[in-house]
Chain A
């Protein structure tokens, strides 16, 4: 067994940071009991009159599990949709799809919003604590995808050794595995974007569940599916509330029947998902589930201790600081140029600067980040500049936040500079200083005292706005919190993590705010330096 193999065995089942637990919000939900009327167990004869079951699944970018048919966008399709139809027939009961955020599925069950969750949901020990899983219906493995020219990457080990940039979905077996291995990981919400980023070179590889790879990666030109598959396996199963044991049993039995009749295999073959791994779920008993338990539960709940998550938060906090400082640097430089253009530039330049300010103050930062990250490379491609315009997530965030805040800074600087009396210009001129010297030595230093307090306030605002970078895969503090909080921590750990995150933010923001007020007091009220005697 090579290192990789061993690691796989150990980890991927057992990395216990399991998917999908609530954000703090769901604390509220945990006290709820479900309306009993919804959950009364029906006797078989009552089947027909029963209300439809609510099936929670995320159809947003959910191919090939469940997604909207590109040709008939009002139709849901996918192998899980087919499976649900087959189960409906077996059970004689209608099952309705309910759109539900993937990360919130378990909460949804507990809240009673849905009756079952089936959405490529893998069995993990953490989830097993909260839900009753059916027998598995699919055995999945992980597969690496890379670019055609990329000959150096042929296994996960290559990724580790070369510190390759690997993209995957948040809170999946793949993301936990990558994190365990210490590979530079880029986390995505969407199943499509990682492959696009791989194609354009923002990533060196993508690691995902085989079904996703088969659907999204197979026919993409320029991509190469790495064989063999990553060793180790996981199991998709249907999740029910723990107290819905009877319903779960009905589904278990129905799944067995679909397995035995070959119906399940037909569905998988239709979607190109059938492979030999599926043999493992065949024995019509609990074998599959037992196997899953063995594989996955070797190391249940790898310690949600302070020591295990705090370093992650700390690292993210540091990244947040870097992001803030660099973005502010961009904002200050561009802001100053804009202010000078607006004050002293020739008319067209003044107008241009004004347009810049109005434009960037008018559009949401989030939109700007999306545009820079997804839109710009696409536009660049048309002109053959795609390489130059394809910035890393971090660089994109710095530029996006910087461009946005530059507009606000520019206005602060302009107001401050124009508030310096004309007499200062004339006095400097009468000494023979050039306008440039005057600006640098006389005007700017005085303007700085007016600029600093509001600018510090902006800095704090920017500091908090860095959380938006999470949307383009930068794992700053908020994103890290989000990832941790949806990774299967229990409520105690959730509260701890929430508090730790908030404290980290406060620890950084409060001194800044304090500094800002101090500067204001000292320089405004005291008129420059009245304080020193």
Chain B
């Protein structure tokens, strides 16, 4: 049973407590939307989950891999990253590689696939995000929405059990957001576990199984979308939602 379990997670940076005792369990196949004001620690939470940064207290379990405070050993980090793919706000595609090579690079170098196998997987995944016709393009030749879909395909190429998405539509023009979000909705149908940091309340309401509101490194509220989004319990959540939903 694959699940992500976060217990008493504390992360400090430069004397400030960025994450302060996060308790959260994400079940297999679940899509969790994480909302919260800028600077509340959403990215940091995802980076902790993917072992891109060390934390100070608590424990994270991803499937049967356990992360503990302090520097994460290289092999543990690599294991956890193979379980959880990550997509970034600013795409972070490799500009010197064609779309297909962006996707095929991980399978070839990390999973040890042959060039041909890796390429085949790349083609498959580009098809899945609707970009098979752009396989030979370089990132600089793609639109923002296309870039982000390539980035999703790149993460999926490692065959992760879960996907971490950090504001992946924030850098996109409004009319391009849907093409990326609909890819996420498809992935959910395929049973992928997802943690989606987003400001798209509409997406959270329609696609997410649960919504989590983060503020100042603490979880203010977590629950079903209707419950959290329509009837928030605290005034702070109400204020925040009022601001994002305008």
* Residues of A close to B94: CB separation below 8 A: 424, 427-428, 442, 446
Q: Is A35 an interface residue (CB 8 A)?
A: no
Q: Which residues between 130 and 147 of chain B lie within 8 Å of chain A, taking CB atoms?
A: 138, 140-141
Contact with A along B43-80 (1 / 0, CB 8 A): 00000001010000000000000000000001001100
Task: Indicate if the CB atoms of A427 and B96 lie closer than 8 Å.
Answer: no
Q: Is B110 an interface residue (CB 8 A)?
A: yes
Task: Indicate if the CB atoms of A449 and B96 lie closer than 8 Å.
Answer: yes
Q: Is B214 an interface residue (CB 8 A)?
A: no
Kindly state the separation between the CA atoms of A179 and B110 in the bound complex, as whole angstroms. 61
* Residues of B close to A91: CB separation below 8 A: none
Kindly state the separation between the CA atoms of A431 and B52 in the bound complex, as whole angstroms. 11
Which among B90, B95, B141, B154 is the interface contact of A431 at CB below 8 angstroms?
B154
Q: Is A437 an interface residue (CB 8 A)?
A: yes
Q: How many A-B contacts are there with CB distance less than 8 Å? A: 65
Q: Known: A423-B90, A434-B74. Contact between A429 and B52, CB under 8 A?
A: yes
Distance to closest chain B CB from A530 (angstroms): 6
Q: Which residues between 417 and 463 of chain A lie within 8 Å of chain B, taking CB atoms?
A: 421, 423-424, 426-434, 437, 441-442, 445-446, 449
Which among A431, A449, A528 is the interface contact of B138 at CB below 8 angstroms?
A528
Q: Which residues between 200 and 231 of chain B lie within 8 Å of chain A, taking CB atoms?
A: none
Q: Known: A427-B94, A433-B106. Contact between A529 and B140, CB under 8 A?
A: yes
Q: Is A72 an interface residue (CB 8 A)?
A: no
Task: Indicate if the CB atoms of B81 and A432 lie closer than 8 Å.
Answer: yes
Q: Is B180 an interface residue (CB 8 A)?
A: no
Q: Is A270 an interface residue (CB 8 A)?
A: no
With both beta carbons as reference points, the residue of chain B lying nearest to A527 in the complex is identified as: B140
Task: Indicate if the CB atoms of A445 and B96 lie closer than 8 Å.
Answer: yes
Task: Indicate if the CB atoms of A430 and B155 lie closer than 8 Å.
Answer: yes
Task: Indicate if the CB atoms of A437 and B109 lie closer than 8 Å.
Answer: yes
Q: Is A32 an interface residue (CB 8 A)?
A: no
Task: Indicate if the CB atoms of B109 and A433 lie closer than 8 Å.
Answer: yes
Kindly state the separation between the CA atoms of A261 and B98 in the bound complex, as whole angstroms. 93
With both beta carbons as reference points, the residue of chain A lying nearest to B82 in the complex is identified as: A432
* Residues of B close to A427: CB separation below 8 A: 86, 88, 92-94
Q: Is B41 an interface residue (CB 8 A)?
A: no
Task: Indicate if the CB atoms of A430 and B52 lie closer than 8 Å.
Answer: yes
* Residues of B close to A432: CB separation below 8 A: 78, 81-82, 106, 110, 158
* Residues of B close to A431: CB separation below 8 A: 81, 85, 105-106, 110, 154-155, 158
Q: Is A533 an interface residue (CB 8 A)?
A: yes
Kindly state the separation between the CA atoms of A432 and B158 in the bound complex, as whole angstroms. 9
Kindly state the separation between the CA atoms of A449 and B95 in the bound complex, as whole angstroms. 11
Task: Indicate if the CB atoms of A433 and B110 lie closer than 8 Å.
Answer: yes
With both beta carbons as reference points, the residue of chain B lying nearest to A446 in the complex is identified as: B96
Main secondary structure of the interface of A (DSSP, over half): helix
* Residues of B close to A441: CB separation below 8 A: 105, 109
* Residues of B close to A528: CB separation below 8 A: 95-96, 138, 140
Q: Known: A429-B52, A431-B154, A441-B105. Contact between A423 and B95, CB under 8 A?
A: no
Please tell me the size bucket of the interface on B: 20 to 34
* Residues of A close to B141: CB separation below 8 A: 529-530, 533
Q: Interface size on A (CB < 8 Å)?
A: 24
Q: Which residues between 77 and 119 of chain B lie within 8 Å of chain A, taking CB atoms?
A: 77-78, 81-82, 85-86, 88, 90, 92-96, 105-106, 109-110
Distance to closest chain B CB from A469 (angstroms): 37
* Residues of A close to B88: CB separation below 8 A: 423, 426-427
Q: Which residues between 397 and 430 of chain A lie within 8 Å of chain B, taking CB atoms?
A: 421, 423-424, 426-430
Kindly state the separation between the CA atoms of A449 and B52 in the bound complex, as whole angstroms. 27
Which among B74, B85, B90, B95 is the interface contact of A430 at CB below 8 angstroms?
B85
Kindly state the separation between the CA atoms of A429 and B158 in the bound complex, as whole angstroms. 12
* Residues of A close to B82: CB separation below 8 A: 432
Kindly state the separation between the CA atoms of A99 and B154 in the bound complex, as whole angstroms. 76
Kindly state the separation between the CA atoms of A530 and B78 in the bound complex, as whole angstroms. 34
* Residues of A close to B154: CB separation below 8 A: 431
Distance to closest chain B CB from A387 (angstroms): 45
Kindly state the separation between the CA atoms of A529 and B93 in the bound complex, as whole angstroms. 14
Kindly state the separation between the CA atoms of A465 and B153 in the bound complex, as whole angstroms. 50
Kindly state the separation between the CA atoms of A211 and B61 in the bound complex, as whole angstroms. 90
Kindly state the separation between the CA atoms of A423 and B47 in the bound complex, as whole angstroms. 12
With both beta carbons as reference points, the residue of chain B lying nearest to A424 in the complex is identified as: B92
Kindly state the separation between the CA atoms of A528 and B86 in the bound complex, as whole angstroms. 25
Distance to closest chain B CB from A524 (angstroms): 13
Q: Which residues between 193 and 251 of chain A lie within 8 Å of chain B, taking CB atoms?
A: none
Distance to closest chain B CB from A385 (angstroms): 41
Distance to closest chain B CB from A522 (angstroms): 12
Which among A430, A434, A530 is the interface contact of B140 at CB below 8 angstroms?
A530
Which among B85, B86, B95, B140 is the interface contact of A446 at CB below 8 angstroms?
B95
**Can you spell out 9 A-B residue pairs with CB atoms less than 8 angstroms apart?**
A424-B92, A426-B88, A430-B50, A432-B158, A434-B74, A437-B109, A441-B105, A446-B94, A529-B138
Give me the interface of A with B, judged by CB distance under 8 Å: 421, 423-424, 426-434, 437, 441-442, 445-446, 449, 527-530, 532-533
Known: A427-B88, A430-B52, A433-B110. 13 other contacts (CB 8 A): A426-B52, A430-B81, A431-B154, A431-B158, A432-B82, A432-B158, A433-B109, A441-B105, A441-B109, A442-B94, A529-B138, A529-B141, A530-B140
6 closest A-B pairs by CB: A427-B92, A431-B106, A430-B86, A432-B110, A423-B92, A432-B81
